[in-house]
Amino acid sequence: MSAATLSSGRVQDRPPHQPEHQPEHQPEHQPEHQPEHQPEHQQDPSGARPIRIFVVAHDVRVRASLASLITADDRLALAGTARTGEEARRTLTLAPASVDLVLVDIALPTRAAGHALIHDLAEHPAGPFTVVSLGFDTADDRSARASGAVAHLTKSTAPEEITTVLARAPRTSHTTTAPALPGAGPSTVRSGLTPPLGRGGLVLAVLAVFVPPWLFWLSALGQSAGWWGWRLPQGAALWSMTLPLVAVIAVRGGRPALVDLWGRLTRWRVSPWAYAAALGVPVLLGAASAGVAVALGAQSPVGQLMSLPGALTYLAYGTGLFLLTEELAWRGVLLPRLQERMAPLAAAVVVGLVWGLWHLPLLLVPGQHDHGLPLLGFLLLIVPTSVLVTALVTTARGSVVVAAVFHAAFDAAYSWFGVVGTDHRPFWAAVVLSWLAAAAVAALTRGRLVLGSIR
């Protein structure tokens, strides 16, 4: 069924189960054929109404043709359309109960993106949504059903068969009710994908991330200043945040929040391109920063702060370390909840500012790689870095594993290339290059920070 086929297709014959004597436009007391403009609340006591279908298709011709086909059938009603998976996720999250079925063109614009959207909707906490996929041929049938689609249609299918399949598909059963916000009125509900932490829960989570490590680092600062002669073991500083943070999530968010967090921490089966970018982007930025510094007259900083074997060892260890500590907090807890309250780019910037301020004691503790770096410059580096890692994580369906790989590669590469060394020329070059890279990603994704080509 090409776009042209869809455009020309019209449902002219009434399905066999409909009595011939029924008029083409039934009165309101017969809602199985209620007019398209009739409000949804005007139903008869039996509760029958057209199946409300949300269409997701990258091609504007396919999207328009499907919309026309749906509105021409009395059994169906068009609930809305979207061009991208991210647009569909946002729209459906705001009003999940207004949609009975989602029709997804699997080329969105790549098959990987289409499968990812089907998978996400089939596991939606406010659903799951009933999804029917649309592809070029039957080869997509098995993979679409494996992703969660209840049926698969090809673009060569006759329009009448398409509408029949849609009309007979099961409706979405919204089994998970969005909990009310604490202190809000009865009509105020939260319909986001991430379970809430209750009033003040996010603040408590941030405190759980800040307070324990800062106690470790401040003990080292006090010792270096001569205020006391001891310090807490610095190697345990990052690990000290994990249990308090998980405790806050458990107490304030309960089992749904823990399940959501666990899913993000274990979501490693994503596109290989996401891992390639998580490893490659920090290396490219580090190498370019060192190159700019050499061009400005500095000696090559490569290997002065950390050897290549040391960097590779740090990469392996750091991935696990950051997965269960920092990234658990930044991209596992904070980012997804901020993304429900503000635009994706704004959420990435806020996480970057919090992430940067959290490092403040490390800029002052002697012996740390970040020691001596300017606070403002560090914030200017971390904010665009947050935008880059957010784009990868969002593209990888919230995978914290990808964030941990990026974080470990970022630290390892910037140490090996000498970006965070005593000569600050590579550091400032990294600041400029990071802003250019983040601006390019924001522009290419129109602020959505979803890289469709690597989904």
**Cα atoms found within 13 Å of the Cα of residue 161, Cβ hemisphere only:** 11
Mean pLDDT value of segment 385-400: 93
SS3 428: helix
Q: Give the Cα separation of 299 and 290 in Å (integer).
A: 9
For residue range 249-264, what is the model confidence (pLDDT) as tens digits? 999 989 888 988 999 9
Q: Output Rg (C-alpha) for the chain, integer angstroms.
A: 26
Check whether 306 has a pLDDT greater than 60: yes
State the span(s) of the chain assigned CATH 3.40.50.2300: 3-168
For residue range 178-217, what is the model confidence (pLDDT) as tens digits? 333 233 333 223 334 577 887 889 999 999 999 999 999 9
Q: Give the Cα separation of 379 and 117 in Å (integer).
A: 34
Q: Give the Cα separation of 169 and 172 in Å (integer).
A: 9
Q: Give the Cα separation of 71 and 51 in Å (integer).
A: 11
Q: Give the Cα separation of 211 and 327 in Å (integer).
A: 16
| Residue-level pLDDT at 178 | 34
> What percent of the chain is predicted at pLDDT more than 70?
82
In contact, 52 and 101? CB cutoff 8 Å: yes
Closest listed residue to residue 356, CA positions, set 341, 374, 368: 374
> What percent of the chain is predicted at pLDDT more than 90?
46
| Residue-level pLDDT at 342 | 86
**Dihedral sign (CA 298, 300, 301, 304):** negative
| Residue-level pLDDT at 402 | 96
Domain boundaries 3-168, CATH class:
alpha beta
Reported as a pLDDT band with limits 50, 70 and 90, residue 49 is: confident
Query: pLDDT higher for 354 or 91?
Result: 354
Phi and psi, residue 155, nearest 5°: -75, 0
Q: In angstroms, how far is the first alpha carbon of the chain from the final one?
A: 25
Q: Give the Cα separation of 414 and 417 in Å (integer).
A: 5
What average pLDDT is seen over the chain? 82
- Annotate 110-171 with DSSP letters as a single string: SHHHHHHHHHHHHT-TT-PPPEEEEESSTTHHHHHHHHT-SEEEETTS-HHHHHHHHHHSPP
Q: List, in order, residues 6 or more apart from 41 with CB less than 8 Å away.
A: none
Query: pLDDT higher for 37 or 56?
Result: 56
Q: Give the Cα separation of 115 and 149 in Å (integer).
A: 9
Mean pLDDT value of segment 173-177: 47
User: 273: exposed, middle or buried (C-beta count within 10 Å: 0-12, 13-18, 19+)?
Assistant: middle
For residue range 114-170, what is the model confidence (pLDDT) as tens digits? 888 888 888 776 567 889 989 877 667 777 787 788 888 887 777 888 888 888 887
| Residue-level pLDDT at 126 | 59
Query: pLDDT higher for 385 or 339?
Result: 385
How remote is the C-alpha of 70 from its chain's centroid? 30
For residue range 250-300, what is the model confidence (pLDDT) as tens digits? 999 898 889 889 999 999 988 899 999 999 999 999 999 999 999 999 999
Mean pLDDT value of segment 393-401: 90
| Residue-level pLDDT at 96 | 73
Residue type, 406: F
β-strand partners of 152: 133
Reported as a pLDDT band with limits 50, 70 and 90, residue 438 is: very high
For residue range 209-240, what is the model confidence (pLDDT) as tens digits? 999 999 999 999 999 989 999 999 999 999 99
| Residue-level pLDDT at 122 | 80
Distances (CA, A) of 224 to 85, 125, 227, 362: 52, 50, 8, 13
Mean pLDDT value of segment 341-366: 92
Q: List, in order, residues 6 or more apart from 449 with CB less than 8 Å away.
A: 344, 345, 348, 387, 390, 391, 394, 395, 441, 442
Distances (CA, A) of 139 to 146, 164, 308: 12, 21, 46
Residue type, 55: V
In contact, 421 and 283? CB cutoff 8 Å: no
β-strand partners of 54: 80, 102
| Residue-level pLDDT at 453 | 45
| Residue-level pLDDT at 127 | 62
b/e map of 278-316 (b: 16 or more CB within 10 Å)?
A: bbebbbebbebbbbbbbeeebeebbeebbeeeebeebbe
Phi and psi, residue 67, nearest 5°: -60, -40
The CB density around residue 246, as the number of other CB atoms within 10 Å, is: 18
